[in-house]
Amino acid sequence: MKNEINELVFCPLGGSGEIGMNMNLYGYGQKDNHKWIMIDIGVGFTDDSVPGVDLMVADPDFIVQRKENLLGILLTHAHEDHIGAIAHLWPMLECPIYATPFTAILIKEKCREKKIQIDGKLKIIQLDGNVKIGPFDINYVTLTHSILEPNALCIKTPVGTILHTGDWKCDNDPLMGKKMDEVKLKAIGKEGVLAMVCDSTNIFTEGRSGSEKDVRDSLMTIMENIKNRIVVTTFASNAARMETVFKCAEKVGRHLSLVGRSMHRIYNTARECGYLQNLKPPLDPRDAKKIPKNKIVYLCTGSQGEPMGAMNRIVNEEHPDVMLDADDTVIFSSRIIPGNEKKLFKIHNKLVKRQINVISEDNAFIHVSGHPGREEMKDMYNWIKPQISIPVHGEHRHMKEHFEFAKSLGVPQPALIENGDIIRVYPGEPEIIDKVHTGKLLVDGNRLIDEESRFLNDRKNIANNGLMDITLLVSKKGNLDRNPIINLRGIPADDEELDEILYDLEDEIINTAKSYSLNNKKDEKNLIDSLKSNLKKVIYTRVKKRPYTNIVLIRL
């Protein structure tokens, strides 16, 4: 007999266990035949352990296998950790995409850049809008964060309501965009919320995150007291901060120049959506060069020390239009994202060495976070009063702390999960009923590759150990040519020593080859294997490195 009860499940494929790569699924229906919606599809940033790869995305395999049951992707807001994977993964999913206007423009642009046709699939939802997708009735609720148009999604299903908060904070004066819709949140709470799936980023932060207005006031005071050039670097996506810098520049009688592609992208997108109006237009950096030092403010990308960001290029004196001198000032109006300390302090040090003033979170109030501190979290729990709390958007340590926090507030059923867990929230007690495949895919060139991919292992191996590339020539009679082509790269030996190493390698090739017949295919493979091992030993004896070795045999 068929079980007729429909169940409601939640499954994060990314973002629960790390900050980044958010990808959340909600499923409703009969066991093993759920209809799914996806909320957010973001990227994560790799560390130095993967040479040549900067971005990664959550492995969507589980939902790709069920894509005929994926009814849509809904985006909460336009940060890269929420939308950055769309152009990489959407072609595998091909479902409708729902986003508010600002987010939608940025998505269109991403897809256009990658030549992905999403026209007709991208549906624009107005702020506070509503959309019915299969069994899900979804309401967008305006929140505040560090970007325009951040939304929580209130997801009504036939068996209960879920509030998916997305990223948020309580900012009573966000300067741009709407205020947080506290009334609507309270009304949702009053109607009854089965589960709240909530941001854990700042769970270790006591108090409140503070307002963009406070930063504007502080930056105004700081800039009033600066004499020469001012460079401000911040997250380009924070349009309110951008407006702050425009307004501060105007107040202190300076021109503003935007530097870096994403600054222009956000400026134009925000204006297209009706924000950032009535500002003095920015100067082209090429023209800004001609302006006296005390009449210009540059607003640049690269606040995290990104190698291609404008800030890094300016500091390394590689930027064609922005040059700094002693007594100029650089303001880092952002926090250091953990992991970027080394890169950023290197930049600070280079500036300080050149007598350029550095103002950062270390010595001034120049930034507020976009995520809620514990007092704000308390407010949200009081308004929503969920039966079940599921912490997401955090590393394990954040989610565990958030779980304990929810428990301490009296949430009846807090639940701790991680990527790949399918948690059933209805019917019955919340329970992890399955564990599905998850992982990371690395964005390498124009491909997505597995973390364990041999390409990557080869590359790490070459990066760490150097490269030995050998071509052996075999005559028609089956004799080995005495002059193999040997290429060594990244071996720590000077030219003279390299010559000696090459002699040793040639000798070893002749020696090793003696024991094998070159006319036998099977022997040929054995010869190459022995050569690899013996030739690495030759190098190791000299320089204590074992280079990645490639040997090919060519028959003339």
Tell me the per-residue interface mask from 152 to 171 with Zn ion, x by CB under 5 A, - otherwise: ---------------x----
Q: Which region among 73-81, 290-298, 318-326, 402-410 touches Zn ion (by CB under 5 A)?
A: 73-81
Contact yes or no for 9/389 (Cβ under 8 A): no
CA atoms of 244 and 50, how far apart (whole Å): 37
- Which of residues 6 and 100 has its CB atom nearest to Zn ion in the complex? 100
Does 18 participate in binding Zn ion (rule CB under 5 A)? no
Q: Residue 193, Cβ neighbours under 10 Å: how many?
A: 21
CB of 218 to Zn ion, least distance (A): 22
Percent of residues in the chain assigned helix, strand, coil, to nearest 5 = 35, 25, 40
Query: Which is closer to Zn ion, CB of 273 or CB of 314?
Result: 273
Cα distance between residue 475 and residue 152, in whole Å:
72
Span of 45-53, 79-87, 304-312, 487-495 interacting with Zn ion by CB under 5 A = 79-87
Residues 6 or more apart whose Cβ sits within 8 Å of residue 32: none
CB of 168 to Zn ion, least distance (A): 9
* Beta pairing class for 467-474 and 485-489: antiparallel
Residue 366 CB, nearest approach to Zn ion (Å): 19
Nearer to Zn ion, 59 or 81 (CB): 81
Nearer to Zn ion, 15 or 547 (CB): 15
Query: Looking at 81-89, 176-184, 264-272, 398-406, which segment touches Zn ion (CB under 5 A)?
Result: 81-89
Residues 30-69: x/- map of binding to Zn ion (CB under 5 A)? ----------------------------------------
Q: Within 10 A of 295 (CB to CB), how many other CB atoms are there?
A: 13
Do 242 and 264 contact (CB within 8 A), yes or no? no
Q: What H or E segment, with its residue span, contains residue 378?
A: helix 374-384
Nearer to Zn ion (CB atom), residue 18 or residue 81? 81
**Identity of the residue numbered 165:** T
Burial class (CB in 10 A: 0-12, 13-18, 19+), 321: middle
Asked if 81 touches Zn ion (CB under 5 A), the answer is yes
- Taking the least distance from each CB to Zn ion, the nearer of 110 and 319 is 110
Distances (CA, A) of 228 to 219, 290, 385: 16, 14, 52
Comparison of 18 and 167: residue with beta carbon closer to Zn ion = 167
Alpha carbon of residue 34 to chain centroid: 29
For 232, residues 6+ apart whose C-beta sits below 8 A from its C-beta are 219, 245, 297, 298, 299, 300, 330, 331, 333
Stretch that binds Zn ion, among 80-88, 225-233, 447-455, 534-542 (CB under 5 A): 80-88
CB within 8 Å of 185: residues ≥ 6 apart = 141, 152, 380, 383, 384
- Amino acid type, 112: R
Distances (CA, A) of 88 to 85, 116, 147, 202: 5, 9, 22, 29
| Binding segment (CB under 5 A) for Zn ion, from list 72-80, 246-254, 290-298, 426-434 | 72-80
Q: How far is the CB of 82 from Zn ion (least distance, A)?
A: 6
Q: Give the SS3 label for residue 34.
A: strand
Question: What residues numbered 361-380 form the site for Zn ion, per CB under 5 A?
Answer: none
> Which is closer to Zn ion, CB of 215 or CB of 324?
215
Q: How far apart are CB 207 and Zn ion at their closest, in Å?
A: 20
Number of residues that bind Zn ion (CB under 5 A): 3
d(CA 230, CA 254): 10
Interacting positions 425-454 with Zn ion (CB under 5 A)? none
Least distance in angstroms from the C-beta of 41 to Zn ion: 12
Binding mask 167-196 for Zn ion (x = CB under 5 A): x-----------------------------
Q: Which is nearer to Zn ion, 167 or 171 (CB)?
A: 167
Nearer to Zn ion, 79 or 184 (CB): 79
Retrieve residue 213's tokens. 């207005």
User: Least CB distance from residue 15 to Zn ion, whole Å?
Assistant: 8
Smallest gap from Cβ 340 to Zn ion, in A, equals: 16
* Residues 528, 244: Cα–Cα separation, whole Å: 65
Smaller CB distance to Zn ion: residue 103 or 157? 103
Nearest approach, Cβ of 324 to Zn ion (angstroms)? 31
Write down the least CB distance from residue 24 to Zn ion, Å. Answer: 11
What is the number of alpha carbons within 13 Å of residue 21 lying toward its C-beta?
27
- Write the CB contacts of 446 (distance below 8 Å, at least 6 apart in sequence): none
Cα(138)–Cα(155) distance, integer angstroms = 5
**226 vs 392, which CB is nearer to Zn ion?**
392
* Among the listed residues 34, 35, 79, 385, the single contact to Zn ion using CB under 5 A: 79
Give the nearest distance from C-beta 5 to Zn ion in angstroms: 34
Shortest distance, CB of residue 164 to Zn ion, whole angstroms? Answer: 12
Residue 398 touches Zn ion, criterion: CB under 5 A = no
Q: Give yes or no for a contact between 228 and 327, defined as CB atoms under 8 angstroms apart.
A: yes
Contact positions vs Zn ion (CB under 5 A): 79, 81, 167
